Chains A and B, each alone.
Chain A
Amino acid sequence: MNFPKFSTLAVVLMALSLAATGCKTRKIGPTPLGSRSGAYGDGRPTELSGGIPIGRPGEEVWPVEIGGGPTASFDPDQMHQDRAALAAHTVYFDYDSSAVRPGDEAKVDAVAAVLASDLSAKLLIEGHCDERGTEEYNRSLGERRALAVRQALAMRGVDPARVATRSYGEDRPADPGYGEAAWSRNRRAEFVLLHPQ
């Protein structure tokens, strides 16, 4: 997996050094490249026998986004749900986006701190959308939003296995009104703190 990148880099370096050499030689006088003959034949690549293949086992690297793994498998409905505890930290999204806004980073910090202080607690993130997407599109977008916030928490050291996600699409608006003021309140992820029953 790493070979193509390495060989690309090698080719670029070689090209650069050739270019540098070219500049130098031009001052002295042109020395045509690739016009040699004799021991080098006509310059075309020729395959010789006897090469030993070189394997590099154990060097494969599989990057995975932090917090990007499978969704948590515990059932949030088997736990005590505290909707008030983290209600002040609801994060909001731009239209058709699942990126956590820079202005909402502090809220994610606060939620991460709560989870760090109580290791028996778990979290449910509920993803919501405004009504401007189609319904099933929004159900997927709401899940993306909840998962994006889960990932932001994982970056702050929260184990993603403690964080369940649930999308309500556009079916549970915070504000049933029409227009950007209402819609901006509806594009959100709400935090529900979970305790063992």
Chain B
Amino acid sequence: MLKNVSFVVFSLATCASALCQGDRITVIKEALRPGDTEPVWVNISGLTGEALETLEFDLYVQGFNFTNAANAQYLISGSNNGNLQARAIDAINKNTLVGRAYSGASLRRQVHAFADDFVQALGRKGIARTMIAFKTEVGRNSEIRVADFDGANVQQVTRDNTIVAAPAWVPGRFALFYTSYRLGNPNIFHHDLATGRQTVFAKYSGLNTSAAVSPDGRRVAMILSKGGSPDVYVCNIDGSDLKRLTETREDESSPCWSPDGQWICFAGKINERRALLRVPANGGPVQRIATVGAGNPTEPDWSPDGQWIVFTRQSRDFEICIVPANGGRGGDATILVSGEDPSWAPNSRTIVFTRRQGDGRRVLYLLDVFTKQIKDVARISGSNSQPSWAR
């Protein structure tokens, strides 16, 4: 509500000043509603084959859609003979937003760079050159892999020949935490992707899982059962200063951080009912995060801009839901699509998640939460789950 009001005031102010100067208003920032926002219409001409496919994929999962030149808000034209040349103009005032020739790496990489240049010219954060990590089934076991966000360049991270799960990126670093059973017990490992060096991070008795690194990279939240039940713990990135944040007989799971590092949100129980909860990262009373209309919530992930918490609702099947992080809209949750284990992209609008297929396979999908535009990451074969977006 408040956001909408301030938005209106902002637009009125912009209008007023714009009218005084006799300008045309070209960019009106929309109030974004999850699942209920119009895509931004774009026309692409001149690009072919892989370049066109790649650009369409990149833009579609960030809330753009495609139409003819007459109806488009932005016009993208270019050529991809060897290298990429591309230009994006605003269809209304004909201003050039981007006009660049790209070289180096691959054509695919050049297109990703242009996609980032284009969305950044619109004041958004580009995600076309980001990566994801995920769990891949290998027979009875599973391993961790990483890939570009669109599924290109899959690389195997672990060869533990056991269950490896719950990968989580260290913010701003080429490194992961994950859970592996390679020593028998489920323990948390740190893995430097540049050197391949794997180190044990948490090896307490019982369960060690679901590591989540704070946005400043200094602390790790996780689930340990050393105290006699699965609870939320936090410690420094070097493993020191371990602190128990919850003390319940119930099972807590899936901690994540608020972007300011003040809160840890997780799935737990309150009054015998499943709920999303949050606890101060330095310890303190646990508070409930309302998810009205979406019972049995699990797997929360807090958007990098702090506005939203996306989570999985467990009913008969699984559904991806979203709720304002700070109780806005009366805590009303919006059910987006079927799926589970969502993870935010750095742009705070695209998520990657898992969907179980009829044949039992698990497939990764990308979703723009505002337009509900969805694409499967078909380039990755096999059965994959628990995606984590590098940010």
Chains A and B are bound partners: yes
A interface with B by C-beta (< 8 Å): 65, 68-73, 75-77, 98, 132-137, 139-141, 143-144, 147, 164-169, 171-172, 176, 178
Cα A136 to Cα B206 with chains together (Å): 15
- Is B166 located at the chain interface by the 8 A CB criterion? yes
The answer to whether A140 and B299 touch (CB under 8 A), given A71-B226, A132-B314, A135-B341, is no
The answer to whether A65 and B314 touch (CB under 8 A), given A135-B166, A143-B207, is no
Instruction: Please determine whether B209 and A139 come into contact, CB atoms closer than 8 angstroms.
Output: yes
Cα A178 to Cα B359 with chains together (Å): 10
The 5 A-B residue pairs with the shortest CB-CB distance in the complex, in nearest-first order = A71-B206, A140-B251, A77-B184, A140-B230, A140-B253
Instruction: Please determine whether A143 and B225 come into contact, CB atoms closer than 8 angstroms.
Output: yes
Instruction: Please determine whether A75 and B184 come into contact, CB atoms closer than 8 angstroms.
Output: yes
Cα A171 to Cα B143 with chains together (Å): 12
The answer to whether A137 and B253 touch (CB under 8 A), given A70-B227, A147-B228, A168-B163, is yes
The answer to whether A144 and B229 touch (CB under 8 A), given A135-B386, A136-B253, is yes
B interface with A by C-beta (< 8 Å): 135, 140, 142, 163, 165-166, 179, 183-186, 204-207, 209-210, 223, 225-230, 249-254, 267, 298-299, 312, 314, 318, 340-341, 360, 385-386
- Shortest distance between the CB of A158 and any CB in chain B (Å): 15
Instruction: Please determine whether A133 and B225 come into contact, CB atoms closer than 8 angstroms.
Output: no
Instruction: Please determine whether A139 and B253 come into contact, CB atoms closer than 8 angstroms.
Output: yes
Which one of B142, B225, B314, B340 contacts A171 once the chains associate, using CB atoms below 8 Å? B142
Instruction: Please determine whether A134 and B140 come into contact, CB atoms closer than 8 angstroms.
Output: no
Residues from chain B with a CB closer than 8 A to the CB of A134 are 254, 298-299, 312, 314, 318, 340-341
In the complex, which residue of chain A has the Cβ closest to the Cβ of B268? A140
- Shortest distance between the CB of A26 and any CB in chain B (Å): 42
Cα A29 to Cα B227 with chains together (Å): 63
Cα A77 to Cα B184 with chains together (Å): 6
The answer to whether A143 and B206 touch (CB under 8 A), given A134-B299, A136-B253, A171-B163, is yes
Instruction: Please determine whether A141 and B299 come into contact, CB atoms closer than 8 angstroms.
Output: no
Given A164-B206, A167-B207; 18 other pairs, CB 8 A cutoff: A70-B226, A71-B204, A71-B206, A71-B226, A75-B184, A133-B314, A135-B135, A135-B340, A136-B166, A136-B254, A137-B253, A137-B267, A137-B298, A139-B209, A140-B207, A140-B209, A143-B207, A167-B186
Scoring A77, A133, A176 by chain B CB atoms within 10 A of each residue's CB, the highest score goes to A133
Residues from chain A with a CB closer than 8 A to the CB of B386 are 135-136
Instruction: Please determine whether B165 and A171 come into contact, CB atoms closer than 8 angstroms.
Output: yes
In the complex, which residue of chain B has the Cβ closest to the Cβ of A75? B184
Which DSSP category, helix, strand, loop or mixed, fits chain B's interface?
strand
Residues from chain B with a CB closer than 8 A to the CB of A77 are 183-185
Residues from chain B with a CB closer than 8 A to the CB of A168 are 163
Instruction: Please determine whether B228 and A136 come into contact, CB atoms closer than 8 angstroms.
Output: no
Instruction: Please determine whether A69 and B299 come into contact, CB atoms closer than 8 angstroms.
Output: no
Cα A143 to Cα B224 with chains together (Å): 10
Residues from chain B with a CB closer than 8 A to the CB of A164 are 205-206
5 intermolecular pairs with C-beta atoms under 8 Å apart = A70-B227, A137-B298, A137-B314, A143-B207, A167-B186
- Shortest distance between the CB of B297 and any CB in chain A (Å): 10
Instruction: Please determine whether B314 and A139 come into contact, CB atoms closer than 8 angstroms.
Output: no
Instruction: Please determine whether B249 and A165 come into contact, CB atoms closer than 8 angstroms.
Output: no
Residues from chain A with a CB closer than 8 A to the CB of B223 are 136, 139-140
Residues from chain A with a CB closer than 8 A to the CB of B385 are 135
Cα A144 to Cα B206 with chains together (Å): 10
In the complex, which residue of chain A has the Cβ closest to the Cβ of B135? A135
Cα A132 to Cα B267 with chains together (Å): 16
- Shortest distance between the CB of B135 and any CB in chain A (Å): 8
Scoring A75, A141, A147 by chain B CB atoms within 10 A of each residue's CB, the highest score goes to A147
- Shortest distance between the CB of A138 and any CB in chain B (Å): 8
Cα A98 to Cα B225 with chains together (Å): 15
Instruction: Please determine whether B299 and A136 come into contact, CB atoms closer than 8 angstroms.
Output: yes
Residues from chain B with a CB closer than 8 A to the CB of A69 are 228
Instruction: Please determine whether B166 and A144 come into contact, CB atoms closer than 8 angstroms.
Output: no
Instruction: Please determine whether B140 and A172 come into contact, CB atoms closer than 8 angstroms.
Output: yes
Scoring B166, B223, B251, B299 by chain A CB atoms within 10 A of each residue's CB, the highest score goes to B251
In the complex, which residue of chain A has the Cβ closest to the Cβ of B311? A134
The answer to whether A68 and B228 touch (CB under 8 A), given A141-B251, A143-B207, is yes
Cα A191 to Cα B185 with chains together (Å): 15
Cα A176 to Cα B226 with chains together (Å): 30
Instruction: Please determine whether B249 and A68 come into contact, CB atoms closer than 8 angstroms.
Output: yes
Instruction: Please determine whether A140 and B252 come into contact, CB atoms closer than 8 angstroms.
Output: yes
- Shortest distance between the CB of B117 and any CB in chain A (Å): 37
Cα A76 to Cα B205 with chains together (Å): 10
Residues from chain B with a CB closer than 8 A to the CB of A76 are 184-185
The answer to whether A137 and B186 touch (CB under 8 A), given A68-B228, A144-B251, is no
The answer to whether A133 and B360 touch (CB under 8 A), given A140-B253, A143-B251, A166-B186, is no
Cα A143 to Cα B226 with chains together (Å): 11
